[in-house]
Amino acid sequence: MKFCGMTREQDVRLAGALGVDAVGFVLWPTSPRAVDPARLAALIRVLPTSTAPVGVFVSPSNDDLDRAIDAGIRIVQIHGATAPGFVPPTTVWVSRSLEAGFDDVSREMTLVLDAHDPARHGGTGQAIDWARAATIAAARRVVLAGGLTAANVTEAIRQVRPYGVDVASGIEDRPGVKNAQAMEAFVAAVREAD
């Protein structure tokens, strides 16, 4: 389970205390959930080692990825295209919508299925077609995103059987500001499905 769009230390600490597998830091400057790269290392330092820090990028350069990895990012999640000659520097997750297709995504990479939004690239709160996602999850490693909340994530997991789930807007008061009760409820709902 990944909590994405983390911007505040108290939210990062709570995610770690709740035992989430990963937290996402958006490193795309135009996002309302963007984290200043200079602050990234400080946020990562409050995580327990059992929680993986994920850098979320839109069409990053190799330099962008290298800087984030130097700050402590262990997984990179890429929306959009990568630079020519891209060589994965670490574990890579590729985010795509059902509409965009993913034939070009290596089966060794985790596929994050999210709602299509060419402007925001995720965090929209829009659900995807779980039946179509289930077909894909049966054939490869999928992290399910898009419109998940404590109210629907148990059923989403039961229907899709993903490798993991990813939530941003479903645990927020507003972009980048998480709600502690919603975070706790989401974790409880995921554990109920397990």
CATH code of the domain in which 96 resides: 3.20.20.70
Identify the pLDDT of residue 141: 96
Question: How many domains, in total, are found in the chain?
Answer: 1
β-strand partners of 166: 2
Identify the pLDDT of residue 124: 60
Q: Give residue 185's domain range.
A: 2-193
Instruction: Going residue by residue through the chain, which has 194 residues, state the pLDDT in tens, using 9 for 90 and above.
Output: 999 999 999 999 999 999 999 999 999 999 999 999 889 999 999 999 999 999 999 988 888 898 999 999 999 999 887 666 666 777 899 999 888 777 778 888 899 998 856 555 455 667 889 999 999 999 999 999 999 999 999 999 999 999 999 999 999 999 999 999 999 999 999 999 97
β-strand partners of 111: 94, 142
| CB 190, CB 167: distance < 8 Å | no
| CB 128, CB 166: distance < 8 Å | no
State the CB neighbour count (10 A cutoff) for residue 151: 11
| CB 63, CB 30: distance < 8 Å | no
Q: Phi first, then psi: what are they for 71, rounded to 5°? A: -80, -10
β-strand partners of 25: 55
**How many helical (H) and strand (E) elements, i.e. helices and strands, does the chain have?**
6, 10
State the CB neighbour count (10 A cutoff) for residue 72: 16
Q: Which residues have CB under 8 Å from 18's CB, separation 6+?
A: 183, 184, 187
